[in-house]
Chain A
Amino acid sequence: MVTLEIQGLSKAFGDRVLFKNLNFRVESGQCLVVTGRNGSGKTTLLRIIAGLVRPTRGRVLICDENGVMDRSRLRRNLGIVAPDLVLYDELTALENLVLFARLRGLDGGPEAAKRTLEKVGLCERAGDLVATFSSGMKQRLKYAFAIQHSPSVLLLDEPTSNLDEQGVDMVRRVVSEQKERGVLVVATNDPEERSYGEQFLHLG
């Protein structure tokens, strides 16, 4: 099973220190909830775990039975939903997912993509351009992007932003499914979402 370990992690932008010497270990089936006021570094921490940003010091280790995951294995085993994540506006929802599936090396083609869209409640809008989507629908599509490859590590930054009640239900389902599959990290200030977690980390 997969574990996520943060060792001595520090990040500074120029003179501004975001966080210093974070140490944490998240086991399979667990969820780590990261809280903190705006600008405290929650998003940056998630981006560092995802491999998009380099830490100033320390490291992130994600391991399964085959050892530590390198970049290419991480691409196939990590999913992320975040406010600053952008999908292709000029493509349809289905085209977006099929593109990402091909890049990730997933079999299944458009049928598998349609099934993922069903899971997040976007079935009827599969053939519409993402540019025509509301922010709630874009958020759902981000979930499709994050879970289409059944990742063992799922990172959610402000999970229920822009979502209606049904969307929140969808998130709850995703969270419980993820706990059966692997590890979850949630960055939020919402008290309802805090209830997802077994471990807590407060920044700032």
Chain B
Amino acid sequence: MSKEAELEGVKQSVVSGAYKAFVGVWMTGVILAAFLYSPEIANLKGTQIVYFHVPCAWLASLAFLGSGIYAVLYLRRQNLELDVKSASAAELGLLFCVLATVTGAVFSKANWGMAWNWDPRQTTIAALLLMYLAYFALRSALVGAEKRAAISGVYAVAACVVMPFLVFVLPRAFESLHPTVVRRGGMDPEIAVVLAASTLGFTAFGVWIFRLRVALGSIALSRMEEPL
């Protein structure tokens, strides 16, 4: 390897190493702040979980949107790399969706005795989870890279169109047990700061995992035999 390429490689690993270290330190700070710094919310128990539940839900929706956008780009440009990105975003979204569902259920059980009660927000996250699972079920039932990419991409876009109905319309239309203190304005500044910091940290973490997954997917794509 030439000197310049070696230097470039070293620079890259230093940058990514610093990024990971920074995210690690940041999140440690967030966890400490969650338990030591921020106050209790509205007489509910175990509200520290908010700082992990909310970013997970946010990331699950964001990943969904990302998957849909990459799907649209694939349909326009027919570049399989874009399909790798779409599927990777969906995988990530699935992970965060599971985390959001579980943390929500834990919180619900601690405060109201029931882990699951089909309250509108829980319905929303459950539907999101089912959409992710349906997407992957569809992918595994399709044979041929372009076919799989195009058809699962179409479903991803449709799911994105339905998502606003789940996330915005339904919870507004019906009463919910879900705490509204985190939705309306006028949040305590301590809560807001830690929440924002946690969301930022989670997003940085999510982006890192996404890039790793896409890199893995791209390698797998280039390994596919090309007889022509």
Direct contact of A and B (CB under 8 A): yes
| Interchain CB contact under 8 A, B227 and A17 | yes
| Interchain CB contact under 8 A, A12 and B146 | no
A23 interface residue (CB < 8 Å to B): no
| Interchain CB contact under 8 A, B146 and A56 | no
Q: How many residues of A contact B (CB 8 A)?
A: 10
* CB neighbors of A among B12-44 (8 A): none
List residues of chain A with CB within 8 A of the CB of B146.
Answer: 54
Q: How many residues of B contact A (CB 8 A)?
A: 4
| Interchain CB contact under 8 A, B228 and A15 | no
* Closest chain A CB from B78 CB (angstroms): 10
| Interchain CB contact under 8 A, A57 and B228 | yes
List residues of chain B with CB within 8 A of the CB of A10.
Answer: 228
Bound-state Cα–Cα, A10 to B226, Å: 12
* Closest chain B CB from A185 CB (angstroms): 23
Q: Mark B142-177, 1 if CB is under 8 A from A, else 0.
A: 000010000000000000000000000000000000
* CB neighbors of B among A15-33 (8 A): 15-17, 20
List residues of chain B with CB within 8 A of the CB of A12.
Answer: 227-228
* Closest chain B CB from A21 CB (angstroms): 9
| Interchain CB contact under 8 A, A17 and B228 | yes
| Interchain CB contact under 8 A, B228 and A20 | yes
List residues of chain A with CB within 8 A of the CB of B227.
Answer: 12, 14-17
Q: Mark B113-146, 1 if CB is under 8 A from A, else 0.
A: 0000000000000000000000000000000001
Minimum CB distance partner of B225 in chain A: A15
List residues of chain B with CB within 8 A of the CB of A56.
Answer: 228
Bound-state Cα–Cα, A12 to B144, Å: 12
Bound-state Cα–Cα, A57 to B227, Å: 11
* CB neighbors of B among A48-63 (8 A): 54, 56-57
* Closest chain B CB from A15 CB (angstroms): 6
List residues of chain B with CB within 8 A of the CB of A20.
Answer: 228
Minimum CB distance partner of A54 in chain B: B146
Minimum CB distance partner of A11 in chain B: B228
Q: Mark B188-228, 1 if CB is under 8 A from A, else 0.
A: 00000000000000000000000000000000000001011
* Closest chain B CB from A112 CB (angstroms): 37
* Closest chain B CB from A106 CB (angstroms): 31
Bound-state Cα–Cα, A20 to B3, Å: 42
Minimum CB distance partner of B143 in chain A: A14
List residues of chain B with CB within 8 A of the CB of A15.
Answer: 225, 227
In this complex, which of B146, B225, B227 has the most chain A Cβ atoms within 10 angstroms of its Cβ? B227
**Given known contacts A15-B225, A17-B227, A54-B146, what 9 new A-B pairs fall within 8 Å (CB)?**
A10-B228, A12-B227, A12-B228, A14-B227, A16-B227, A17-B228, A20-B228, A56-B228, A57-B228
Chain A residues near B (Cβ < 8 Å): 10, 12, 14-17, 20, 54, 56-57
13 contacts between A and B (CB under 8 A): A10-B228, A12-B227, A12-B228, A14-B227, A15-B225, A15-B227, A16-B227, A17-B227, A17-B228, A20-B228, A54-B146, A56-B228, A57-B228
